[in-house]
Amino acid sequence: MSPFLGEHRKSKSALIEAELLPADREDSPLTTRIKKYLTEEEIQLVWQAYRYAERAHDGQTRKTGEPYITHPVAVACILASMHLDLPTLLAALLHDVVEDTHVNNDEITQLFGKQVADLVDGLTKLDKVELQTATQAQAENFRKMLLAMSQDVRVILVKLADRLHNMQTLQAMRPEKQKRIARETMDIYAPIANRLGLNPIYHELEDLSFQYLYPNRFRVIDKAIKVARGNRKEVIGKILEAIQNQLKLFQIEYDVQGREKHLHSIYKKMAEKSMRLSQINDIYGFRVIVKDNAACYLALGALHALYKPIPGRFKDYIAIPKANGYQSLHTTLFGPFGTPIEVQIRSEEMHNIADAGVAAHWLYKTNDAHLTKLQQQTHQWLQRLVEIQTESDDSYEFLEHFKVDLFPDEVYVFTPKGNIMALPRGSTAVDFAYAVHTDVGNSCVAVKINNELAPLRTEMRNGDHVEIITAPLAKPNPAWLNYVVTGKARSHIRHYLKTVKVEESAQLGERMLNVALRAMHVEPQEVAEKQWQKVMNDYGAKTRQAILTDIGLGKRNSLMVAHQLLAHPAHENDDKTKPLDTITIRGSEGMAVQFAQCCRPIPGDPILGFINKDKGLVIHTHDCLAIRKFKLDPEKWLDVEWDADHKKLFKVNLRITVVNERGMLAKIASTISNSDSNIDNVGVEDSDGSQYSNVNFTVQVHNRVHLAELIRNLRKIQQVVRINRVKGVSLEQQRIQ
């Protein structure tokens, strides 16, 4: 058994000890682990970082009640099990000091060096940006961390150890936070661990996430597995003995280990194949570890001579390794009593990589050529991340592409030169083309699969020989986005389409803005650069082209931008450049003009417009309560007025208090309909036992005159006690209140 796997499985008890002992004691778990491979000088630096972090976190506690320093020590313990180098251990001990204490990155650089400071910076979350949602912040933090990981893979190794310890102590969190963190772990961190070949961490993260996401299912399966383990103990013992005797007969040096499927793997198989637990026969398996590659195939022949193999259940991951470097022979045999037996056969080097993945670089100091190849593959994957992020302006989009790239299942296809290429299951010929090279993807027009022409949307199958046909003037097709699955293909296609769209939209936007400026008796060339700079700052735009593009795409109103450009003329006494006093808002809501949900203005209401860099022009009523809460630049507020000619229906919230009688909703609905109005939403508040009830309606009206007429008609209903137009909160908030 590899030292990493053995120590990792002991990690929970070791971490409990770590929480009780100072890390710099001779008998502490951290000291015990680092003494195995660090020099005395390096150990002193680890202790120095520990004491520094302990002082910085002094007085802070975790949700579990322990001093906060126990968490970075536990993270360092996990990494020390993997024999990670000194800078990584120092970063593990210091990974929260910049985010949670008064310490800054410059101080860490001075004390521990730039390498450690860079690792800590890659692990530190971004500062909260004003008006940024929690989801946006989460996506942007992922982006920052993954880009740091592309520079140095040790960033993600520390982050995975950090997440593992957080998951091991998640019981102290509120249930809703437990589920959120568990979902994030299942979707992002467990697949990253799998992609990097860190199998023990991958399986533990999955099982812990499963425990918090589906606690009842976890308990049921866990209990059933323990019962099955006891029932099958005798059978498993006989199979193990038979395998050992067979390998001795063939004079093969071996180590045989029993292997039990992880709980989440069992649950996933039950869900995917609609099976009951009693129908899953491969819960227990065996792992045979031999000397070298030749012995792997000899052991396979020996076991096939002992028990008959099940057709179609053999996989050779030695000849064609998985993308994360994993190698093994997998076979399923008919055992005694008709019990299927899953067996994995691998060499010692393969076993080391299967346990430690990219961390094998630090854990096993060997000249293994396959380990070097694994490092190259990992580097290529990380570079693909950099490519994707450079073409993804949006952090959501980057995260989406990244998730797609964390594929758990691959198909293996051959290039015309006979090279093997791994792609996610479901990949098409277009995905293959972009995997070969971006230029090949951008210019592909057809594909030959096994020497026969096929559509570009054809899905790849294991063993396909694929040849892409290109043309010099070919361009990516927007329809490809409907069937490509890899992050690289999707990001390159989107980037190309955006580039073309941006250029065309910017030209259209410039023409629209010029028309708006001339309507204000100003020639476009008369707008000074400082006026453009002011508007760019207001909108948060980096370039003038970005604003013109938004106008062309309909995200901004050309008249509104023209008004802003002229709000501060280059020459204050120049009457020629005096702006209009108001902007007329037409009775249709587009992407550039939105009506605030808090007050729902309708024609006839006095209104103000506020320029929001993300939403465009947002219209509020003069008396909207939300306006008082905005501490914003008054120059971003515009006087706006309704156009006299409008035919659109606008939403209004009404709260109606009625006598609690049968058929009241039907009466009110009938009256609203007869008043030429529509009902958009309705909700009845919980009754407090009195004879009155409150009913919340969202109705559609043309203007204030129409609303007044509707209210008059509703008052004619004898059982209606009170009618209020609700401003400041939505119907959903009304229900909550």
The residue-averaged pLDDT of 317-321 equals 85
The residue-averaged pLDDT of 343-368 equals 74
| 41/516 Cα distance (integer angstroms) | 71
State residue 196's pLDDT score: 81
pLDDT digits (tens, 9 = 90+) for 448-481: 998 899 999 999 888 889 999 999 888 888 888 8
The segment with the largest mean pLDDT, out of 14-28, 151-165, 548-562, is 151-165
Q: Taking 80 as the threshold, does the pLDDT of residue 706 lie above it?
A: yes
Q: Which of 480, 595, 606, 613 is nearest to 538 (CA)?
A: 613
Query: Could you give the angle at the alpha carbon of 70 between the alpha carbons of 64 and 72, nearest 5°?
Result: 120
Q: Taking 60 as the threshold, does the pLDDT of residue 237 lie above it?
A: yes
pLDDT digits (tens, 9 = 90+) for 637-688: 666 777 666 667 888 889 999 888 888 888 898 899 889 888 888 888 866 6
Please check whether residue 288 is in contact with residue 344, taking contact to mean a CB–CB distance below 8 angstroms: yes
In the chain, count of helices (H) and strands (E)? Answer: 32, 19
Sequence-separated (6 or more) residues with CB below 8 Å from residue 374:
197, 324, 325, 353, 357, 358, 360
Average pLDDT for the chain: 79
State residue 485's pLDDT score: 85
State residue 12's pLDDT score: 44
Q: How many CB atoms sit inside 10 A of residue 461's CB? A: 12
Compare 527 and 229 and report the one with higher pLDDT: 527
User: How far lies 59's CA from each of 20, 68, 93, 95, 401, in Å?
Assistant: 16, 8, 17, 17, 41
Percent of the chain residues past pLDDT 90, beyond the cut:
19
Compare 730 and 85 and report the one with higher pLDDT: 85
Chain centroid, CA 129 distance in Å:
19
pLDDT digits (tens, 9 = 90+) for 11-30: 444 444 444 446 556 667 88
The residue-averaged pLDDT of 161-184 equals 90
| 406/196 Cα distance (integer angstroms) | 10
State residue 78's pLDDT score: 92
Percent of the chain residues past pLDDT 70, beyond the cut:
76
* pTM exceeds cut of 0.85: no
- Mean pLDDT lowest among 48-52, 362-366, 710-714: 362-366
| 319/328 Cα distance (integer angstroms) | 9
Q: Which amino acid, residue 135?
A: T
Position 128 confidence tier, pLDDT thresholds 50, 70, 90: very low
| 658/681 Cα distance (integer angstroms) | 17
Tell me the catalytic residues: 99-100
Position 431 confidence tier, pLDDT thresholds 50, 70, 90: very high
The segment with the largest mean pLDDT, out of 8-12, 136-140, 216-220, 415-419, is 216-220
HSE, CB side, 13 Å, CA atoms: give it for residue 340.
Answer: 14
Q: Taking 50 as the threshold, does the pLDDT of residue 578 lie above it?
A: no
Place of tokens 């400082």: 530
Q: Taking 80 as the threshold, does the pLDDT of residue 129 lie above it?
A: no
State residue 366's pLDDT score: 53
Position 611 confidence tier, pLDDT thresholds 50, 70, 90: low
Q: Taking 50 as the threshold, does the pLDDT of residue 733 lie above it?
A: no
Long-range pairs, 35-42, Cβ under 8 A, ≥24: 36/83, 37/83, 38/86, 42/86
Q: Taking 60 as the threshold, does the pLDDT of residue 60 lie above it?
A: yes
For 233-359, where are the alpha helices, taking DSSP H only?
A: 233-249, 263-273, 293-306, 348-356
Compare 126 and 431 and report the one with higher pLDDT: 431
The residue-averaged pLDDT of 700-706 equals 88
Q: Taking 80 as the threshold, does the pLDDT of residue 719 lie above it?
A: yes
Sequence-separated (6 or more) residues with CB below 8 Å from residue 265:
203, 206
The dihedrals phi and psi of 623, each to the nearest 5 degrees, come to -100, 15
- Mean pLDDT lowest among 244-248, 432-436, 532-536, 591-595: 591-595
The dihedrals phi and psi of 442, each to the nearest 5 degrees, come to -65, -25
The residue-averaged pLDDT of 258-284 equals 79
State residue 444's pLDDT score: 93
Chain centroid, CA 574 distance in Å:
53
**What residue ranges define each of the domains in the chain, with the CATH number in brackets?**
3-213 (1.10.3210.10), 228-356 (3.30.460.10), 373-488 (3.10.20.30), 496-641 (no CATH), 650-736 (3.30.70.260)
Q: Taking 60 as the threshold, does the pLDDT of residue 571 lie above it?
A: no
State residue 264's pLDDT score: 87
Position 3 confidence tier, pLDDT thresholds 50, 70, 90: very low
Q: Positive or negative, the Cα torsion across 352, 357, 362, 363?
A: negative
